[in-house]
Amino acid sequence: MAEPTIITVAITGSVPRKKDNPAVPVEPEEQIESTQRAFEAGAALAHIHVRDKDENPSSDPGRFLRVKEGVMKHCPGMIIQFSTGGRGRAGAERWQPLLHDPDMASLTTGSVNFPASIYENTPQLIEEMAKVMLERDIKPEIEVFDLAMLYNAHNMAEKGLLRRPIHCQFVMGIPNALPAREKTLDFLISELRELEPDATWAAMGISRWQIVVNEWCLKRGGHLRTGLEDNIYRAKGVLATGNADLVRLAADLCAKYGRRPATPAEARMILKLRPAT
Ligand code: ZN
């Protein structure tokens, strides 16, 4: 019996714009439709950023709510994860959308350099966001952009700021942060297993690394992330026609490693989430 693997679709993100790929969904209606197609192609978890009318990253809780409600309606049971990511958003406003109670939210447990900026997460802000998630029973996805973030997450779990089992996403291939190296992934997984034996994990690769890292994860029993946030191409130089296009590539890879895409109900059990409402 093939083991289920959770496919996350990161539908929009902060960086790609319609001029890079017209399939990048920006308006909430486009985001809902794109998520539904990805859901039908095998994605069980949607990672969501919203943009304003100029395509800039936004923290508008109303926009997050519109997308959440649309996804709940059209993708029954799908796990909804809000990004609390920075770019253009400061301090407390980053967690305001959590007051709309998504199933999960991203939590980056440290700061890191991006290609031309600092992704800043002060210890105070990390703790503040973790407390909001604990209080509201929102499961964090720990975004590991650099090694210290893994140890910080473990320390937070020790202090009771994160509920166990934790779930980590290893982010590989962003210039100035963790490289996309298979040996690096092996080290991250072995450290995670030692420190947090019951943790679940996924990894993602940026741009051309997306499909490569999908395969590394399948080989090692991890979960997958794909989507236009991380990569706008379905193949070398060929633009993806939508998020579903990329989900299909990941889903098609599963059988080669004795895996299959998890249903939303299975994904909720694997991540120890509350059942869908
Ligand atoms: Zn994101």
Inter-CA distances, 72 with 75, 122, 195, 209, 231, Å: 6, 33, 35, 30, 25
- Expressed in angstroms and rounded, the spacing between residue 181 Cα and the centre of ligand 1 is 21
For 20-53, how does the pLDDT look when each residue is reduced to its tens digit (9 = 90+)? 999 999 999 999 999 999 999 999 999 999 999 9
Residue 275's pLDDT band (boundaries 50, 70, 90)?
confident
Q: Where are the domains of the chain?
A: 3-270
Residue in 273, 248, 256 with CA at minimum distance from that of residue 7: 248
Report how far ligand 1's centroid is from the alpha carbon of 13 (Å): 5
Domain 3-270 has CATH 3.40.50.920: no
pLDDT digits (tens, 9 = 90+) for 108-159: 999 999 999 999 999 999 999 999 999 999 999 999 999 999 999 999 999 9
Q: Which of 88-102, 160-174, 193-207, 262-276 has the lowest mean pLDDT?
A: 88-102
Report pLDDT for 214.
98
pLDDT band at 89 (very low <50, low <70, confident <90, very high): low
159 CA to centre of ligand 1 in angstroms:
26
Omega before 275 cis (within 30°)?
no
Task: Tell how far the Cα of 85 is from the centroid of ligand 1, in angstroms.
Answer: 6
Question: Does the predicted model carry a pTM greater than 0.85?
Answer: yes
Tell me the pLDDT tens digit for each residue of 64-83: 999 999 999 999 999 999 99
Between the CA of 250 and the centroid of ligand 1 the distance, in Å, is 18
CA–CA distance, 33 with 111 (Å, rounded to integer)? 33
Rg (Cα) of the chain, in Å, rounded? 17
Tell me what pLDDT residue 91 has.
79
Q: Kindly report, residue by residue over 224-246, the tens digit of the pLDDT.
A: 999 999 999 999 899 999 999 99
Cα–Cα distance, 52 to 28 (Å, whole number): 10
CA of 237 to the centre of ligand 1 (A): 23
C-alpha 157, offset from chain centre: 20
Distance of CA 252 to the CA centre of its chain: 20
Separation of CA 49 and ligand 1 centre (Å): 6
Q: Report the separation in Å between the CA atom of 83 and the middle of ligand 1, taken as the mean of its atom positions.
A: 5
For residue 234, the CA-to-ligand 1 centroid distance in Å is 19
Going by pLDDT thresholds of 50, 70 and 90, the confidence category of residue 85 is confident
The alpha carbon of 231 and the centre of ligand 1 are apart by a number of angstroms equal to: 12
Q: Which residues contact 178 (CB under 8 A, 6 or more apart)?
A: 144, 145, 146, 147, 170, 171, 172, 184
Question: What residues flank ion ligand 1 with Cβ within 5 A?
Answer: 83
pLDDT tens figures, 186-199 = 999 999 999 999 99
Report CA(1)–ligand 1 centroid distance (Å).
Answer: 32
Helix axes of 28-41 and 61-74: crossing angle, nearest 10 degrees: 40
